[in-house]
């Protein structure tokens, strides 16, 4: 049974910060459709060491199974026979017939020098023809293929290895290439899991936190973009925000979200405290995943930089309560490096748009949330995640990607990546990169598949960028060893700071062409 507290009438309107001009309803820039070109991969060193001859008499393959002998004529006929039947044979394997682990497939692995050890035939999607092609390229067993995957494709979208198998090895059918990729990927993942279950893929795995105002569409973004696109499906593991935990606590099914909105002054601290605890629990629960990228909905930093600031400003959290919050926030964050992400993704839309979306979804607890409240939260997101001018003395700072790193940013996201920095920033997220995505336009993800993939590509490219950046860092400053001297510093006012009071051109904010806008802004 839910314990619903009586709702305070439009308390949020009364307590919200004074209205500030809304951002113009920004238009999403024309979608750039040019996807990342797949990098041409050279044959790995292991492959170069095994330049095996191409023999036409398939020792352990379809020819042998069909009982054909190895005379030149029979070989010729056998080859033709294999060539004809093999697509079907390999196709069956790739679709699961005589599956990956079936005894029948394992049996076939009696090879000779021409076809390697023969173990390739145990891979779904590999029949005699594909076996020959692989051996020809030096992949005479499962091990060199695994090595190829580790060297070139680990942590990348499966598409890249599929593309390689088709274009460089000559596997004709995409489903065969996909089956081979899946088999190799799963084998490598298993090995990684076996060797270190306490820190799976620790050095390779990244975490991004997805941020944005109430109702901007974080959950939809995570579910639809990350789960349903080929660019991200195999790359990403999603950790949704624990809202359900807030709505149903203990055997009495208390709903702290509802309690907070009904009596914010009474419950703001308790709620923010519980939000933090549930995030820690979720981080723990999701820490043993093996996918290369963990996408978490929000973070303890948005709790602190956005919501705790908002409730403090609204006087729903008093001075004692915020002091208590801060007294444990720093030490706890410092002792739990898993809470510190490798990057942020900021889904950005105007408060108006978020308000409209909130009205449509009608979450019962949010009935009293006003446009003014959303506006206040929007400004706090902006002052936290968006670059502005100024260095030191408590001012927010420009945080552009250093010139020497620009080259590693894919053109599709070059104008949208910034580093968080400034005196107001918690020390553990100083220099953490943020990708800003315009979510102003309503997109029907059921129909606009290209828009969905466009977002997915941007996330995938951001992942590549952050991965490269982290690899370039000295070991002690990467991943769990991030140095963290505790510090929470907030801007003196809850506003964006602009020199001389002249804001960043609205058109620039709208179009998200920050880099260009910032250059002209700085040259003033
Ligand atoms: P959001 O984190 O904004 O989640 P959402 O479901 O609105 O996101 P989206 O629609 O983009 O998928 O907030 C969930 C609710 O919890 C919302 O009513 C705001 C409230 N909340 C706080 O009051 N304080 C907090 O610290 C957090 C994280 C949420």
And the tokens for 133?
Answer: 């092609």
Listed in sequence order, the residues at least 6 apart from 162 whose beta carbon sits closer than 8 Å to its beta carbon are 174, 177, 178, 181
Contact 243, 280 (CB under 8 A): no
Q: Which atom of ligand 1 is nearest to the CA of 303?
A: 26
Among residues 296, 299, 493, 512, the alpha carbon closest in space to that of 386 is found at 512
And the tokens for 286?
Answer: 């999701």
Residue 426 pLDDT class (50, 70, 90 cuts) = confident
Ligand 1 pocket member 334 (CB < 6 A):
no
Residue 238's DSSP bridge partners are 295
Higher pLDDT, 509 or 469: 469
Contact 272, 308 (CB under 8 A): yes
| pLDDT tops 60 at residue 78 | no
| pLDDT tops 80 at residue 359 | yes
Q: Check residue 431 and report its DSSP letter.
A: T
Ligand 1 pocket member 303 (CB < 6 A):
yes
**What pLDDT does 403 receive?**
56
Ligand 1 pocket member 347 (CB < 6 A):
no
Residue 390 pLDDT class (50, 70, 90 cuts) = very low
> CA-CA distance, 298 to 321, in Å (whole number)?
22
Q: Check residue 402 and report its DSSP letter.
A: P
Average pLDDT over residues 134-147: 90
H or E element that contains 295? strand 293-297
Using DSSP, how many helices (H) and how many strands (E) does the chain show?
Answer: 23, 6
Q: Go through 449-476 and write b for each residue having 16 or more CB atoms within 10 A of its CB, e for each that does not.
A: eebbbbbbbbbbbbbbbbbebbeeeeee
**What pLDDT does 215 receive?**
94
Average pLDDT over residues 156-170: 88
Higher pLDDT, 486 or 255: 255
Average pLDDT over residues 43-54: 32
**What pLDDT does 372 receive?**
95
**What pLDDT does 43 receive?**
32
How many A from CA of 378 to the centre of ligand 1? 12
Establish how many alpha carbons lie within 13 A of residue 187's alpha carbon, considering only the half-sphere containing its beta carbon.
Answer: 20
And the tokens for 444?
Answer: 């029907």
| pLDDT tops 90 at residue 318 | yes
Average pLDDT over residues 444-452: 84
Residue 8 pLDDT class (50, 70, 90 cuts) = very low
Query: What are 50-77's pLDDT values in tens digits?
Result: 332 322 333 333 333 333 233 333 333 3
State residue 154 phi and psi, 5-degree precision. Answer: -60, 130
* CA angle, 323 then 325 then 330, to 5°: 100
**3-state secondary structure at position 433:** strand
Query: What are 225-276's pLDDT values in tens digits?
Result: 888 888 898 899 999 999 999 999 999 999 999 999 999 999 999 999 999 9
**What pLDDT does 197 receive?**
47
Nearest CA to ligand 1 atom 13: 214
Residue 350 pLDDT class (50, 70, 90 cuts) = very high
**What pLDDT does 502 receive?**
35
How many A from CA of 297 to the centre of ligand 1? 10
Instruction: List active site positions.
Output: 297
How many A from CA of 243 to the centre of ligand 1? 8
Nearest CA to ligand 1 atom 21: 307
**What pLDDT does 476 receive?**
42
H or E element that contains 183? helix 174-195
Average pLDDT over residues 2-15: 41
Q: What is the DSSP string of 14-75?
A: HHSPPP-PPPP-PPPPPPP--PPPPPP-PPPHHHHT------SS-SSSHHHHTT---SHHHH
| pLDDT tops 90 at residue 311 | yes
Average pLDDT over residues 330-352: 94
* CA angle, 507 then 345 then 425, to 5°: 90
Establish how many alpha carbons lie within 13 A of residue 274's alpha carbon, considering only the half-sphere containing its beta carbon.
Answer: 20
Among residues 302, 513, 303, 489, the alpha carbon closest in space to that of 396 is found at 489
**What pLDDT does 116 receive?**
66
**What pLDDT does 451 receive?**
87
Ligand 1 pocket member 299 (CB < 6 A):
no
Nearest CA to ligand 1 atom 6: 215
Percentage of the chain modeled with pLDDT above 90: 39
Whole-prediction pTM value? 0.58
| pLDDT tops 50 at residue 25 | no
- Mean pLDDT of all residues in the chain? 71
Nearest CA to ligand 1 atom 1: 214
Query: What are 402-420's pLDDT values in tens digits?
Result: 555 656 677 778 778 988 8
**3-state secondary structure at position 486:** coil
Contact 135, 52 (CB under 8 A): yes
Residue 32: Cβ within 10 Å count: 11
**3-state secondary structure at position 430:** coil
> CA-CA distance, 365 to 115, in Å (whole number)?
65
**What pLDDT does 425 receive?**
79
* CA angle, 143 then 148 then 150, to 5°: 95
Ligand 1 pocket member 217 (CB < 6 A):
yes
Average pLDDT over residues 329-346: 94
> CA-CA distance, 306 to 325, in Å (whole number)?
14
Among residues 218, 198, 378, the alpha carbon closest in space to that of 295 is found at 218
**What pLDDT does 431 receive?**
86
Q: Which of 243, 339, 363 to mutate to test the pocket of ligand 1 (most atoms within 8 A of CB)?
A: 243
How many A from CA of 376 to the centre of ligand 1? 14
Q: Which atom of ligand 1 is nearest to the CA of 363?
A: 18
How many A from CA of 150 to the centre of ligand 1? 39
* CA angle, 5 then 10 then 16, to 5°: 115
């Amino acid at each position: 049974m839910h314990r619903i507290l009586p709702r305070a009438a439009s308390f949020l309107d009364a307590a919200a910060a004074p209205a500030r001009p809304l951002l113009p309803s920004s238009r999403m820039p024309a979608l750039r459709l040019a996807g990342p070109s797949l990098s041409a991969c050279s044959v790995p060193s292991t492959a170069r060491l095994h330049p095996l001859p191409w023999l036409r008499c398939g020792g352990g393959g379809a020819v042998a199974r069909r009982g054909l002998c190895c005379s030149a004529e029979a070989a010729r006929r056998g080859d033709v026979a294999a060539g004809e039947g093999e697509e079907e044979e390999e196709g069956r394997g790739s679709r699961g017939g005589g599956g990956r682990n079936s005894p029948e497939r394992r049996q076939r692995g009696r090879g000779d020098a021409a076809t390697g050890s023969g173990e390739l035939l145990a891979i779904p999607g590999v029949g005699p023809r594909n076996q020959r092609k692989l051996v020809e390229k030096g992949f005479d067993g499962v091990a060199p293929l695994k090595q190829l995957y580790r060297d070139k494709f680990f942590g990348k979208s499966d598409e890249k290895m599929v593309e390689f198998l088709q274009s460089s090895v000559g596997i004709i059918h995409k489903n065969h290439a996909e089956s081979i990729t899946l088999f190799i990927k799963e084998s490598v993942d298993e090995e990684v899991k076996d060797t270190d279950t306490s820190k799976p893929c620790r050095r390779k795995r990244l975490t991004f936190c997805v941020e944005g105002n109430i109702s901007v569409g974080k959950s939809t973004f995570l579910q639809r973009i990350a789960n349903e696109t080929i660019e991200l499906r195999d790359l990403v593991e999603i950790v949704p925000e624990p809202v359900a935990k807030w709505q149903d606590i203990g055997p009495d099914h208390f709903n702290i979200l509802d309690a907070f909105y009904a009596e914010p002054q009474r419950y703001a601290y308790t709620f923010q405290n519980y939000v933090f605890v549930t995030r820690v629990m979720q981080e723990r629960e999701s820490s043993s995943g093996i996918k290369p990228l963990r996408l978490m909905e929000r973070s303890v930093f948005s709790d602190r930089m956005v919501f705790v600031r908002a409730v403090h400003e609204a006087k729903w959290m008093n001075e004692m309560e915020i002091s208590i919050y801060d007294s444990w926030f720093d030490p706890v964050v410092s002792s739990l490096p898993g809470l510190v992400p490798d990057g942020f993704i900021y889904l950005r839309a105007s408060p108006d748009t978020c308000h409209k979306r909130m009205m449509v979804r009608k979450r019962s607890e949010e009935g009293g949330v006003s446009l003014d409240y959303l506006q206040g939260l929007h400004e706090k997101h902006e002052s936290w995640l968006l670059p502005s001018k100024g260095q030191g003395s408590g001012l927010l700072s420009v945080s552009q990607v250093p010139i020497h790193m620009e080259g590693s940013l894919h053109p599709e996201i070059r104008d949208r990546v910034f580093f968080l920095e400034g005196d107001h920033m918690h020390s553990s997220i100083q220099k953490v990169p943020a990708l800003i995505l315009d979510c102003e336009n309503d997109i029907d993800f059921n129909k606009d598949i290209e828009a969905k993939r466009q977002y997915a590509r941007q996330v995938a490219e951001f992942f590549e960028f952050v991965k490269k950046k982290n690899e370039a860092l000295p070991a002690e400053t990467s991943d769990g060893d991030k140095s963290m001297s505790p510090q929470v510093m907030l801007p003196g006012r809850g506003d964006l700071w602009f020199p001389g009071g002249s804001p960043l051109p609205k058109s620039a904010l709208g179009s998200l062409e920050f880099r260009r806008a910032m250059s002209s802004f700085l040259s003033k």
